[in-house]
Each structure stands twice: as structure tokens, then as C-alpha cells.
Amino acid sequence: MIEKFLVPELDKEYLMLKLNSIRYPNEYEDPSVGWKCGTPTWAVKEMVEAWKTTYSWETSRAEINSWHHYKTLIHGLNIHFIHERSADPKASAIILIHGWPSTFYEFHKMIEPLRDQAFHVVVPSLPGYGFSDPPKRPGEGTTAQFSEIMHKLMVELGYDKYMVYGTDWGATIGQQMSQNNPTHALGFLTNMPSAFPPLPTLSNILHHPLQVFKLLLSLVAGFGKVYGPEATALETFTFANVDINQDAAYRAIQSARPYTLAFGLTDSPVGLLGWMLEPYHAWTYHQSEETTNSIPNTVTTDEFLTQVTLYWMTNTMASSYRIYHEFLAEMKSMKPSKFTVPFAVSYFKKEAVKLPREWLEISATNLVQFKNHDKGGHFPALEQTELLLEDIIEFRSTLDKNSQKKDI
């Protein structure tokens, strides 16, 4: 049963009580350390001051409640989602799936433009994020489970055919959702695709010998020299091995010891803000002054603080990152398989992971659109809204043309 939902007020008095009694950590006195050890105090202090003085949750709440919000029960969980229907009778349905550390609000600048471009727009909160219930038992918070919930949501809304856009965990979930429901998914677009490398298996040696050779060569000559400077270094593909890749530190603790970290992020809004600020700094594209700017000018302080406030008021940081813990076990049973649904990739300059295009072409038999943008980062819906909108609209046009060819 689908029920209407309104985003509630914030307990501002309790938040201010917490923000007015802060003890900041001890740090090195050498300013050259910058962001190398994580989020520095000066960056947190700036954001805390804005949270206390200039940021208005009620302003953000008014914007958020201008859309149609609902909840529905799927797999025993109340799932929150936005559903904005287009007035165009020929509109296409699209689901926008966020990841971590984000919320449905990541797409706030895309909802109305997509709706006005003849899309029925569905923006869910993943289970354990924002206003969606968290999974209650181990094994219920996997990407496979989430992809099934997202598909059932679209079917319940009456969309037998739909497009999918996903970023971060939403990319993994959206890719599985499309792959597992190929008669329903018209196409899948992402800025963070998944694919297995061309390992020297018998099948790959027979069918993709050049790609196997290049992979082996990259181990000797260097990944960037073989695949180009834009490709992500091979060592960053490790999920939680910080000896090889220090950028995996957050994944290591969130996947291996999610409970211990949760106390600080649940009880302290400043701890929560500091933990979220690092990826919003590191995974975004700064045109200049990256060391002295906490976030780029393409993401406003209010946008970032709205994301933080949503996590704080719903107490969902701990439940949101348990997907890392689930995935650590889930990935052990994952095997290469062909992705047959029409597939589109939009890489942005500072994306955290960029797989070589040829890897994607091996895994996806229907890669119909590939873009490499020279700006933006891991949160393109916030950073480069217009570029992402253009890519989605172009992808739909490509899907329509291919469908017309099949009908001839």
C-alpha cells in the first residue's frame, strides 16, 4: 500500500545543544599535512559555523516537500521515495538511485527538469538511508536485495518498462536491477560502472587475447601507460586493502567493523559531518585551490549540509554504510556475466573509479553511449547537473532510435 509522506521538522534545539559543546581533536601542527590524514579541523569548523548560523533546514525542507513523497512496504521494509509524474502521456519512466554518503537529495536539481522533459521521475531512499527502514538482519542489506526492492518499487508504481540511472552504490544496484530484469529495464546509465578485468581465463584468451595481453602488460609497464592517464590505477580496485590503497581506509572500517565507528557518527553531529566531508572533498572536481577549499564551488554549503542534516535527523549513518559489510561477503560469490541491457557510461573528471572502456565492452554486449567529461566528479547530479541531464536525454533518444529499428 502506497501512502503519502511529508518530511518532518528537525529537532533544532537538540542539534544546537550538540553543536555548542564541541571538543575538537588534536592534530599535527604542520599545515602541509592538509587532507592527507583525513578531514582537517579547519574545514569542519567552517561547516559547523555555517550549520549553526546561516544554514536553514526549513528552507531545504520546503523545497523537499514541494515534491510528492510516499512510502510503501517492500520485503518488510517501509521504503521512502519521491514520485514526480510528467504531464506528457508518452513520458518515459526513470529511477535515480543514490549511494553513500548521499541521499535522495543528491538529485534535487534534476527532478523537475527531467519531469519537464517527459520523464516520470522516481527517486527512492535506499533501505537504511534517510526515511527508508534499515534492514534488520544480516544478509538482508545486500546489493542483490536492494536491486530487487528497487525493481518491485517500479512495478508497484505501474512501470513495466523503465530506465535506470545509478551512482556509487546506486550504480552497483542499478546494474544488477537492469541485468536481472532485462524485459523491464529499457537501459542503464551510470558514472561508475562495474566490470571484471580480462583475466587470462580460457574464454578470454580465446575471445579477447589482446585485452588479456594488455592487462598482463599493465602489471609490468604500469596501468596508466597501458590504459591512459584517465583510467583508475589497478591498486584502487582493492575493496579494503589499505596496505595497497590508502583511499580504501573508509571502506575497510565500514565493511569490517561497522558497529565501532557508528558510536561517534551517531552521537556526534560534528563527527558525522567530518566523516562525510572527506569524500565530498576528495571525490569532487576542484577547479582551483583544492587544498584550501573543503568542497568545490559546484556544490553549495547548503547542499552539503542538507545531506548531513538528513543523516543526522534520521539516525541512518550506521545503517547506511552496513552495505559495505554486506558487500564484503557478497562479492566472494560474484562471477563474470554478460550485461545485455542497453548500457551508457558518463565518466566525469574526478570520478573515484574509471574502468577502461574495453573492459566494459567485454562485459557489456550493448554499450551504446560512452562520454568522458573534463569536469565534475563523483556527484555529477550536484556538480554538473546540465551535463548529466543532457546525457540522460541523449540516452533515451538512442534507446528510442534503436527500438524503432527493431520494429522495422
Could you read off the pLDDT of 15-28 as tens digits, one per residue?
999 999 999 999 99
pLDDT digits (tens, 9 = 90+) for 126-151: 999 999 999 999 999 999 999 999 99
Residue 163: pLDDT band (50, 70, 90) is: very high
Whether residue 61 is predicted with pLDDT greater than 90 in this model: the reply is yes
- Mean pLDDT on 264-286: 97
**Cα dist. 199→211, 214, 322 in Å?**
9, 10, 30
CB atoms within 10 A of CB 222: 12
Side-chain-side CA neighbours of 267 within 13 Å: the count stands at 8
The percent of residues in the chain predicted with pLDDT above 70, rounded, is 97
Average pLDDT, the chain: 93
Separation CA 133–CA 127 (nearest Å)? 6
Which three cell numbers mark 277? Answer: 566531508
Lowest mean pLDDT among 172-176, 278-282, 354-358: 354-358
Question: What is the reported pLDDT for 339?
Answer: 86
Instruction: Kindly state whether residue 27 falls inside one of the protein's structural domains.
Output: no
Collect all residues with Cβ–Cβ distance below 8 Å to 383 and sequence separation of at least 6: 284, 285, 296, 298, 299, 348, 375, 376, 377
Domain match, 176 and 276 both: yes
Domain match, 220 and 339 both: no
Question: What is the reported pLDDT for 288?
Answer: 74
Question: What is the reported pLDDT for 245?
Answer: 80
Residue type, 192: M
Instruction: Using the 3D structure, point to which of 237, 261, 295 is the last residue of a domain.
Output: 237
- The values of phi and psi at residue 269, to 5°, are -65, -30
Q: With CA atoms as reference, report the closest residue to 166 among 344, 354, 377.
A: 344
Q: With CA atoms as reference, report the closest residue to 58 among 47, 69, 70, 66.
A: 66
The residue assigned the cell 551504446 is 368
Instruction: Kindly state whether residue 30 falls inside one of the protein's structural domains.
Output: no
**Cα dist. 58→11, 48, 64, 306 in Å?**
11, 17, 10, 10
**Count of residues for the chain?**
408
Whether residue 333 is predicted with pLDDT greater than 90 in this model: the reply is no
pLDDT digits (tens, 9 = 90+) for 81-129: 999 999 999 999 999 999 999 999 999 999 999 999 999 999 999 999 9
Listed in order, strand segments (DSSP E) in 237-376 are 343-347, 367-372
Domain, as residue range, for 103? 3-21+36-196+246-407
Collect all residues with Cβ–Cβ distance below 8 Å to 374 and sequence separation of at least 6: 349
> DSSP secondary-structure letter at 130?
T
Residue type, 299: V
Instruction: Kindly state whether residue 26 falls inside one of the protein's structural domains.
Output: no
- Mean pLDDT on 247-275: 94
Q: How many domains would you assign to the chain? A: 2
- Mean pLDDT on 231-256: 81
Instruction: Kindly state whether residue 282 falls inside one of the protein's structural domains.
Output: yes
Domain match, 110 and 231 both: no
- Mean pLDDT on 304-319: 98
Question: What is the reported pLDDT for 228?
Answer: 85
